[in-house]
């Protein structure tokens, strides 16, 4: 549903235009002067501005200049009296999409609006494709020759053309979002939006607003209407990371979206149809979460239509040299070091490491080495992994006190928790410093602190 901001100082015109466009399915926001229009644009998701030329204080031409300076991609249509055509032409030279003369023909106005919205949508898609496809999110974006990874490539190829919901499972840092993007860009929705949201990164109230959007006045601070991710991703793909962290109350609303293909914004009562393919990801064992009543069983079955499980890096160590060389190439260009390489001894050391942070941790280690190594080749001493339980020097101290009985995932969790606690302790609980010690991002560290219930 497109939202149009109508600006006119004559109340009758605001009423007539609002009724006309509302009947055509547009959502209308009105302002009786340019200053108020600019205030509304600061917080609202607006797709087009329809403004009168002649208004007190700030005329349509001044409003056009202000809109284009802050939102150059925003289509603006001018409404002008017959004698102001010369001004309207000047406005078009300044960026207006079109102009309509009073008294206007309804069909002419609607045709101009639809054409402007189509033109704007195409321009946005071209920009999005230039930015996103430049990264070549296909199998080239997922590095690996391991048998398990080749099976995943085949599964992506079979699932991508379908609208089916997909659940991607795997530890943090294994590349779940890359799998989601590969499915999007290999399928029929490739030219449409791909949006992502981490369900663990926001409190429940903000997460609900991010997903469903809100109407003006829906809660304190909601000064304007805002569309949520479901609307923004319409006809495209929405990737929901850490779906296991979604609160139970919100799970029920999310389930309704999957069943009914429609949403209501917070504070609103209008039903909005959405066509969104959902790819969800988790590093939790959702069947266990269902048994513990922390995740809805009906939602789990709705999400788990197709399941893709990404193995941790320690289970595909034959891919480590391939990944390492890929990241060396990536950061060699970024660091401007065209001769940079990596020695066989360094590759062997990387291959012996357990990588609790998986591919993300490996990438961080290579990035750091590419920046700090003194020669033209990354050597073992350039890799900051000597004290993280790889079985090399320092490894015994890390796993001391940890029972080696049990399954590998539980053992890795125990080692990972001990590493996180030690890094925080050594950093005086300064999270940014601890994250640097571990070679991970601050947000990932905060996630692990919640996972292991670590508090200062």
Per-residue DSSP letter, 236: S
Judged against a pLDDT cut of 70, whether residue 243 lies above it is answered with yes
What CA–CA distance (Å, rounded) separates 245 from 262? 23
Range scoring the smallest mean pLDDT among 3-12, 42-51, 133-142, 256-265: 133-142
Residue 303 scores a pLDDT above 60: yes
The token pair that represents 338 in the structure block: 């065209």
* pLDDT score of 443: 75
Strands of 166-228, DSSP E? 166-169, 194-198, 213-214, 226-227
Determine the average pLDDT of the residues in 192-202.
Answer: 93
Cβ atoms 365, 320 nearer than 8 A: no
| C-alpha–C-alpha distance, residues 136 and 427, integer Å | 38
Q: Does 368 score more than 80 pLDDT?
A: yes
CA atoms within 13 A on the CB side of 316: 19
First to last CA, the chain: 46
451 class by beta-carbon count within 10 Å (0-12 exposed, 13-18 middle, 19+ buried): middle
Q: Given this model, what pLDDT does residue 313 score?
A: 92
- pLDDT tens digits along 383-418: 987 544 433 333 444 555 555 566 667 777 888 888
Least confident range of 81-95, 154-168, 258-272, 378-392: 378-392
Q: What domains does the chain contain, in order, with CATH numbers? A: 3-131 (3.40.50.2300), 144-309 (3.40.50.300), 312-394 (1.10.8.60), 401-456 (1.10.10.60)
- Position 447 scores a pLDDT of 80
Helix (H), strand (E) counts: the chain: 19, 16
Confidence (pLDDT) at 290: 95
| 109-142 pLDDT tens trace | 999 999 999 888 877 766 665 455 444 433 546 8
CA dist 454 and 456 (Å) reads: 7
Count of CB atoms within 10 A of residue 252's CB? 12
d(CA 404, CA 393): 19
Omega within 30 of 0 (cis) for the link into 7: no
Q: What is the pLDDT of residues 412-435, one digit of tens each?
A: 788 888 888 888 888 888 888 888
List the beta bridge partners of residue 306: 166
Tell me, what's the pLDDT at 102?
81
What H or E segment, with its residue span, contains residue 79? strand 76-80
**In the prediction, which pLDDT does 422 show?**
85
- On the 0-12 / 13-18 / 19+ scale of CB atoms within 10 A, 183 is buried
Q: Dihedral of CA 368/371/372/376: which sign?
A: positive
């Amino acid at each position: 549903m497109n939202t149009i901001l109508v600006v006119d100082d004559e109340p009758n015109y605001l009423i007539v235009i609002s009724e006309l466009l509302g009947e055509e399915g547009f959502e209308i926001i009105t302002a009786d002067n340019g200053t108020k229009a600019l205030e509304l644009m600061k917080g609202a998701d607006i797709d087009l501005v329809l403004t009168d030329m002649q208004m007190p204080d700030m005329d349509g031409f001044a409003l056009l200049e202000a809109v284009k300076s802050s939102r150059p991609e925003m289509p603006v249509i001018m409404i002008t009296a017959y004698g102001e055509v010369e001004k309207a032409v000047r406005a078009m030279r300044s960026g207006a999409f079109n102009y309509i003369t009073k008294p206007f023909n309804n069909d002419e106005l609607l045709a101009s609006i639809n054409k402007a919205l189509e033109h704007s949508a195409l321009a946005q898609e071209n920009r999005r494709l230039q930015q996103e496809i430049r990264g070549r999110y296909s199998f080239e974006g997922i590095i690996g020759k391991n048998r398990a990874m080749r099976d995943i490539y085949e599964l992506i190829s079979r699932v991508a053309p379908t609208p089916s919901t997909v659940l991607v499972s795997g530890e943090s840092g294994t590349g779940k979002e890359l799998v989601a993007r590969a499915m999007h860009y290999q399928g029929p929705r490739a030219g449409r939006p791909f949006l992502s949201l981490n369900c663990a990164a926001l409190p429940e109230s903000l997460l609900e607003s991010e997903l469903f959007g809100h109407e003006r006045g829906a809660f304190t601070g909601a000064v304007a209407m805002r569309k949520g991710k479901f609307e923004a991703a319409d006809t495209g793909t929405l990737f929901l990371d850490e779906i296991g962290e979604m609160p139970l109350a919100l799970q029920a609303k999310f389930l309704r979206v999957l069943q009914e293909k429609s949403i209501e914004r917070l504070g609103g009562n209008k039903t909005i149809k959405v066509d969104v393919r959902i790819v969800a990801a988790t590093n939790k064992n959702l069947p266990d979460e269902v048994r513990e009543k922390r995740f809805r069983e009906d939602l789990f079955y709705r999400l788990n239509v197709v399941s893709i499980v990404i193995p941790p890096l320690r289970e595909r160590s034959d891919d480590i040299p391939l990944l390492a060389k890929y990241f060396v190439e990536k950061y060699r260009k970024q660091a401007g070091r065209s001769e940079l390489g990596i020695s066989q001894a360094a590759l062997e050391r990387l291959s012996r490491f357990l990588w609790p942070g998986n591919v993300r941790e490996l990438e961080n280690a290579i990035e750091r080495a590419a920046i700090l190594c003194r020669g033209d080749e990354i050597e073992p001493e350039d890799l900051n992994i000597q004290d993280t339980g790889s079985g090399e020097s320092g490894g015994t101290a890390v796993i001391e006190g940890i029972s080696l009985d049990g399954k590998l995932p539980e053992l890795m969790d125990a080692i990972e928790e001990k590493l996180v606690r030690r890094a925080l302790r050594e950093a005086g609980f300064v999270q940014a410093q601890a994250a640097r010690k571990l070679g991970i991002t601050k947000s990932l560290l905060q996630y692990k602190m919640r996972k292991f219930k670590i508090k200062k």
